[in-house]
Structure 1
Amino acid sequence: MKEFKLKDNVVLRYHDLPGEEIPIIFIHGLGCASSFDYPQVATNGGLANHRRILVDLIGSGYSDKPELFDYTIANHAKYLEELLRYLRIDNIVIFGHSMGGAVSIALANCVRDKVKAIILSEANLDSGGGFFSKQIANYSESDFIKFGYANILQESISSGNTEWAAGLSNSSPTAIHRNSVSLIKGQTPSWRQIYYSLDASKTYIYGSESLPDPDYDELVSHNINVAVVANAGHSMAWENPEGLASIIKKSIQ
């Protein structure tokens, strides 16, 4: 695992797996970590020939978890832009899942001239958040830190959502809450509007168990390539990593 030092000595940690083909940066969702979610995806479906950058966002996984960072989607994207500049990458594929999809769109907007393709899986495109971000943001930040985090962690374990519980247990409660608030607040223009405006190749991925979805036809109408991972729901990187990797590879070609 490699390290990149941001301002105030905050350390971003990531895997940088070698490959001769165009780099792919993997950006994970709320309460997750790319170091946990994507090693199996990144070694399947022909992706092993690509340079693969698996980033743990600040506040998650093995990266630092500073209390003073605001954990907004926009500022996650800003330090990822710094990382790409540091790595001297001028041609990139961006993959983002769920909350990581919003971060991916914000990042792509910052580095439009460098993006060959942006691939999203069940991403946040609009304000309002999703199931877990709404649940988390219903707490005040102080209450979430005091007891809400423990409650949601225990609920996840009890319901059998142990993979997310593992990622959540290695995430900062402060980060999780502020991430959720940022997702619900959204931005103007929206992540959806920015996504539609990007000139890069665009693919949006659903898990088959997440369908039907009312947004499917809307995305198709805006010339988004919509693909489906079989035998998977929202957590497709865990449920069918080979299928997800295959679609990512097809979306780059």
Structure 2
Amino acid sequence: MKGFLLTDHKAKIRYHDLLGDGPPILFLHGLGCSSSFDYPQVAAFRELQQHRRILVDLLGSGYSDSPENFSYSMAAHASCLEQLIEHMGLDNFYLYGHSMGGAIAISLAGKCEQRLSGLVLSEANLDSGGGLFSRRIAGHEEGGYLESGHQTMIRNARASACEEWAVGLEASSPVAVYRESKSLVDGEARSWRQILYSLNIPRTFIFGQKSLPDPEESRLKANGINIEIVDNAGHSMAWDNPAGLATAIQRGIHFAG
């Protein structure tokens, strides 16, 4: 695992950099997760093996540092990743983001569009208001969430047989999870949807089959966005069907040409 020091925050982002001769793919994970946990199996499938695959743990998640003075907003994460991209000298690469990571990927794409060959999203947050879990988390005051809410979320994840998310939450900073949830609920002045529609690069949006029907499917198609579907999977498609997700990502890359 490699690390990059963000001097402004005195904190390191850590990531796996898996070798491949093909164009790089930068992976961004969802709320309470980490790329180091979610994506090694996805990245190992034949469909993606020819690519250089960069699996990033966002600040506050996985093996990356968790500075308490960081805002953990989607825009702040995107700014840190922009520095990482500059540090790595990435050009002509693909950006993949899931759920919260999709909102960050969209924000990042708006900053580095000229470097991107394409954007692939899976069930990304596109508007303010958050999702089921981010709304539940953001409904607390920060102090209350840190005191007991985070442990309650972990217990509830285990009780609902979602061991993977419970493990991810345990490895995440409660401060990060809370502030990320608030950022997803509050949104930004320019929505992630508006940025997505304005991008002049190939864009793919992936749904898990079990998440359908969803009115977003036709709405996104109408705005020129390619749609892919992962069979036998819901929102947590990297866990439900990693081979299917790898295939969908590759199709998104093929769509980008």
TM-score range, shorter chain: over 0.9
The residue identity in structure 2 corresponding to 1:67 is E
CA RMSD of aligned residues (A): 0.7
Per the TM alignment, residue 45 of structure 1 is displaced from its structure 2 partner at its CA by: 4.0
The residue identity in structure 2 corresponding to 1:177 is Y
SS of the equivalent of 1:223 reads: coil
**What is the percent sequence identity of the aligned residues?**
52
SS of the equivalent of 2:63 reads: coil
Question: In 2, Cα distance between the equivalents of 1:24 and 1:73?
Answer: 20
Structure 2 partner of 1:113: 114
Question: In 1, Cα distance between the equivalents of 2:46 and 2:29?
Answer: 19
Structure 1 partner of 2:3: 3
Structure 1 unmatched ranges of 5 or more: none
Residue correspondence of structure 1 range 190-205 to structure 2 within 5 A: 190-205=191-206
Cα deviation per residue 1:184-208 (whole Å; 9 max; x = unaligned)?
Answer: 1111211001001111110000000
Residue correspondence of structure 1 range 57-72 to structure 2 within 5 A: 57-72=58-73
The residue identity in structure 2 corresponding to 1:166 is V
Residue correspondence of structure 1 range 31-70 to structure 2 within 5 A: 31-70=32-71
Structure 1 partner of 2:135: 134
* Farther off after superposition, 8-17 or 68-77: 8-17
Cα deviation per residue 1:130-188 (whole Å; 9 max; x = unaligned)?
Answer: 01000100110000000000111100001101100010000000000000000011112
SS of the equivalent of 2:52 reads: strand
The residue identity in structure 2 corresponding to 1:25 is L
- Deviating above 6 A after TM superposition, structure 1's stretches of 4 or more consecutive aligned residues are none
Structure 2 partner of 1:187: 188
* Farther off after superposition, 60-69 or 1-10: 1-10
TM-score (norm 1): 0.99
Cα deviation per residue 1:83-113 (whole Å; 9 max; x = unaligned)?
Answer: 0110011111000000000000011000010
Structure 2 unmatched ranges of 5 or more: none
SS of the equivalent of 2:190 reads: coil
Structure 1 partner of 2:79: 78
Question: In 2, Cα distance between the equivalents of 1:45 and 1:38?
Answer: 14
Question: In 1, Cα distance between the equivalents of 2:57 and 2:142?
Answer: 22
Pair 1:45–1:122, CA change in 2 (3 A): farther
The residue identity in structure 2 corresponding to 1:153 is I
Native 8 Å contact 1:45 1:242 kept in 2: no
Question: In 2, Cα distance between the equivalents of 1:217 and 1:91?
Answer: 29
Question: In 1, Cα distance between the equivalents of 2:205 and 2:252?
Answer: 10
The residue identity in structure 2 corresponding to 1:71 is Y
Question: In 1, Cα distance between the equivalents of 2:244 and 2:75?
Answer: 30
Residue correspondence of structure 1 range 14-33 to structure 2 within 5 A: 14-33=15-34
Native 8 Å contact 1:13 1:62 kept in 2: yes
Q: How many residues align?
A: 253
Native 8 Å contact 2:228 2:252 kept in 1: no
Per the TM alignment, residue 9 of structure 1 is displaced from its structure 2 partner at its CA by: 2.2
Native 8 Å contact 1:10 1:66 kept in 2: yes
SS of the equivalent of 2:119 reads: strand
Residue correspondence of structure 1 range 105-184 to structure 2 within 5 A: 105-184=106-185
Question: In 1, Cα distance between the equivalents of 2:153 and 2:20?
Answer: 39
SS of the equivalent of 2:233 reads: coil
The residue identity in structure 1 corresponding to 2:29 is H
